[in-house]
Amino acid sequence: MAKQRLKRPLNKQAIQAADDEFYAKHPDMMRNGHRVPLDPNNPRHAAMRQAWHTSYLANGGELSNADMGQSEVDKPVRPCERDDHWIEFRYVMGGTDFPVSDKEAFTLVYPTGKTEEATLSGGKLRRDGVPAGMYELRPKSLGGVSWSPSTAHAEEPVTVEVTGLNIPDGETVEIRILGEFQLTEGKPVATVSATFDSDSARAQWNYKQEIGAAPDGRFIAIAKWSSKTAKSNVLTIEHYPVGDDKGLQQRLKHLGHYAGAIDGIVGPASRSAVSALQREHPPLAVDGIAGPLTRGLLERLLY
């Protein structure tokens, strides 16, 4: 007996036109912006496959006659041949058709679970001769950078976390810490690194006040992995009030009189620094005691 079927090789232009028409009429066959292939073994897709064939022929596709014996007629219907299918992903700017260049490898996941590392060409990735089914293209990128807590005091540890998307475990991310308004290419206040595990990398940092430097400030973190970068929210480092002995030590260190730890313990080093300040500001009594007059002076001088 004779049966009509689509003529091989298939007309690629007709396929493209038929696909465009079909998916425009069937938005329910779109998943996350990607076209779901028709399944030749799914009875619910039979009418849609017929509609696609009609569109294919209307756009230049052709039919041919194929002789089939009784033995072939009795065989179960098989899925379309592998070269009947193709997939194309387009990576574009949100809400536009402008392609996005990305030199990082993407992970292409086949319906069978097989994965392939692939790169874009002109913002596109296409594969011909592939089986029907659901495909997924997973980009590798940085999700964001955040501080926890977002407000702290000098010397207190804070955690900076970098989130990723499909970044392999064990990959290292560099984190540069800068002043809020510092140029990104400038010398960082500090640099730390972290290792990704389940798309998250964490590191700890604490702002250490140097002699002559302010005990407070606002900082950002810029993470860099491969060609990807991400910027954090602002970390605010606050000073202690002057009535707190840690606040006393911070101000004395800012003025260059104190070089010790900001621990709130007023020992010989702290008292010596208070005396140095008092000598510079008569008629304060030089007694090394940070009383109301001395602390009031510090509050007027700083912050």
CATH number of the domain enclosing 199: 2.60.40.1930
**pLDDT tops 50 at residue 77:** no
**pLDDT tops 50 at residue 82:** no
Lowest mean pLDDT, pick from 14-23, 254-263, 290-299: 14-23
pLDDT in tens, 211-242: 999 999 999 999 999 989 999 999 999 999 99
Q: How confident is the model at residue 84 (pLDDT cuts 50, 70, 90)?
A: low
Q: Are residues 128 and 156 in the same domain?
A: no
Quick one: how many helices (H) and strands (E) in the chain? Answer: 6, 18
Q: Are residues 189 and 203 in the same domain?
A: yes
Q: Are residues 2 and 57 in the same domain?
A: yes
Q: Are residues 73 and 85 in the same domain?
A: no
Q: Are residues 257 and 297 in the same domain?
A: yes
Instruction: Write down how long the chain is.
Output: 303
Q: Are residues 92 and 26 in the same domain?
A: no
Q: Which whole number is the average pLDDT over 245-271?
A: 96
Residue with the bigger pLDDT between 22 and 147: it is: 147
CB 194 within 8 A of CB 172: yes
Domain boundary at 117, 139, 161, which?
139
Work out how many domains the chain is built from and give that number. Answer: 4
Nearest to 90 by CA among 126, 114, 58: 126
pLDDT in tens, 107-160: 998 888 889 998 888 888 888 888 888 888 888 989 999 999 999 998 899 999
3-state helix, strand, coil split of the chain in percent (to 5) is 25, 30, 45
**pTM across the whole model:** 0.64
| Residue 155, domain extent | 141-238
Residue 180 neighbours by CB under 8 Å, 6+ apart:
217, 218, 219, 220, 234
Q: Are residues 231 and 159 in the same domain?
A: yes
Domain boundary at 218, 238, 258, which?
238
Q: Which whole number is the average pLDDT over 17-27?
A: 88
DSSP 8-state assignment for residue 296: H
